[in-house]
Amino acid sequence: MRHVWLLGILSIGLFAANVVQVGDKYKDSGKCKACHSHIVAQWEDSWHAKSHYGNDEYFQKTIDYVARKDNRKSLNTIKIECATCHNPRIAVTSTNAEYEAIAALNLDKDSAASKALRSDTIAEGINCVVCHNIDQIHDELPADKRGMNRVTWMKSGTMTGPYSDAKSPYHKVEQRPFMDNNPNQLCFVCHANDTSEEGLRFVDMQSEFKNSGKACVDCHMGARKEGIAATLRDANGQPHKRLIREHRFIGGHVENMWKDALKVDTRKNGAALEVILNNPQPHALPSGFGSREILIEVQYSGGGKVIKNEALSITTRYLSKRGKPTVPHLAAKIVQSISIPAQGSKAFSLPIPTGSDGATIVVSYRLVNDEIRELLELKDPIWSKKMVIKKVSVKL
């Protein structure tokens, strides 16, 4: 009887953000392929398509780790909190104490929260209907209101885009300025900031961003090129050619993006070699999720032989409230943060071994530093792969 009572109160207080149901016709990208096949193919190769718990090892193991360490919240509650940005079309947007009681007894299998997390509506993560069904972006809200909490959705079946003359027989189309005139506004719905369970702001990309005439999409979607947004034919029997951007949303996981992302200078200062990293980008490097890393590796040589190898990690490290290394989402304190600011530079000093007459410096990038990779037991090679930014050789 007690279980029946608990299930009865489960439906109370589960809904917070305004939920707009997505019709079956629009909820997965497969329905978009008929007219937008090449754009969907690009998106399928993106990490937006992998933002779901079941598709991203880093995301999945971070959530699992937080659930193990934070006994105040169930695994599903943490999944729903993270869905704010990772799965913003989820049908349940918050849980409450009553739900936690149900979850603790493993009686939540048929709850609204569990069903929402199993729904194929969110299985594709950030898909077409996430960005192209937004009506308004509410920048008047506090900075911590992100993802689903920062937008108002269109009705299901109405899509937004950058073109005033777009038409479709399959859905309504309305133009919105954040799709073209102010694309940063759309990116910063999610890619702006994040705060740990202990109240520590560990990502603050929007605040660090420096306007320099370069928008997020210029790097992460590429320049506009003539192409076809939709294969529907016009009155002349031809698809309408437009200026469009790629939808692969390339980022830190794409090796080619890192080539020459930083400028590297060197100088000898007494018994030390100074490596100066100049960042021409509009945001800090490393940036984004808190455990990314830039490596400076120096190989000293003398008389034609390798004398010594030195390495320096440029990353952020976090401590829990108990003073133990932890993931950013559980951090109470930052113990190291030496990123290169937007359009700024930093110099790093490494000792020169006796007998050195030259050095080879390799500056590279990794998605996850050693500490976090070990904490989460990440297996995919992408997390440890070194992506070379610059390699230089100097005489000493």
Answer yes or no: is 251 within a domain: no
DSSP, residue by residue, 38-72: HHHHHHHTSSGGG-STTT-HHHHHHHHHHHHH-TT
Answer yes or no: is 369 within a domain: yes
**2, 27, 47: which is closest to 250 by C-alpha?**
47
Q: Are residues 236 and 267 in the same domain?
A: no
Task: Find the helix or strand (DSSP H, E) in which 385 lies.
Answer: none
Residues 200-247 have pLDDT tens digits of 999 999 999 998 888 999 999 999 999 999 998 877 788 889 999 999
Q: Are residues 213 and 105 in the same domain?
A: yes
Question: 306: Cβ–Cβ under 8 A, 6 or more apart, which residues?
Answer: 299, 300
3-class secondary structure per residue, 154-171: CCCCEEEECCCCCCCCCC
Q: Are residues 43 and 122 in the same domain?
A: yes
Q: Are residues 111 and 202 in the same domain?
A: yes
AA identity, residue 45: D
The predicted pLDDT at position 336 comes to 82
The last residue of a domain, from among 244, 275, 298: 244
CATH number at residue 340: 2.60.40.10
Instruction: Return d(Cα 98, Cα 115) in angstroms, integer.
Output: 17
Answer yes or no: is 250 within a domain: no
* β-pairing verdict for 263-269 and 239-244: unpaired
What angle in degrees, to the nearest 10, is found between the helix axes of 97-104 and 75-86? 130
Residue 14's pLDDT band (cuts 50, 70, 90): very low
Q: Which two tokens stand for residue 239?
A: 């698809």
Q: Are residues 115 and 22 in the same domain?
A: yes
On the question of pLDDT at 395 being above 60, the answer is yes
The last residue of a domain, from among 210, 244, 278: 244
Q: Are residues 78 and 127 in the same domain?
A: yes
Full domain range(s) for residue 355: 256-395
Q: Are residues 386 and 353 in the same domain?
A: yes
Is 383 within 8 Å of 368 (Cβ atoms)? yes
pTM of the model: 0.90
Is 132 within 8 Å of 153 (Cβ atoms)? no
Q: Are residues 214 and 292 in the same domain?
A: no
Percentage above 90 pLDDT, the chain: 86
Instruction: Return d(Cα 159, Cα 156) in angstroms, integer.
Output: 8
Mean pLDDT score across all residues of the chain: 92
HSE-up of 219 (CA within 13 Å, CB side)? 19
Instruction: Return d(Cα 22, Cα 153) in angstroms, integer.
Output: 10
Q: Are residues 102 and 137 in the same domain?
A: yes
Across residues 83-101, what is the average pLDDT?
Answer: 94
Q: Which two tokens stand for residue 261?
A: 């992302």
Name the residue with tokens 């008389």.
303
The last residue of a domain, from among 186, 216, 244: 244
Q: Are residues 194 and 300 in the same domain?
A: no
DSSP 350: E
Count of the separate structural domains present in the chain: 2
Q: Are residues 163 and 274 in the same domain?
A: no
Answer yes or no: is 184 within a domain: yes
Percentage above 70 pLDDT, the chain: 95
Instruction: Return d(Cα 93, Cα 101) in angstroms, integer.
Output: 18
On the question of pLDDT at 11 being above 80, the answer is no
Q: Are residues 211 and 282 in the same domain?
A: no
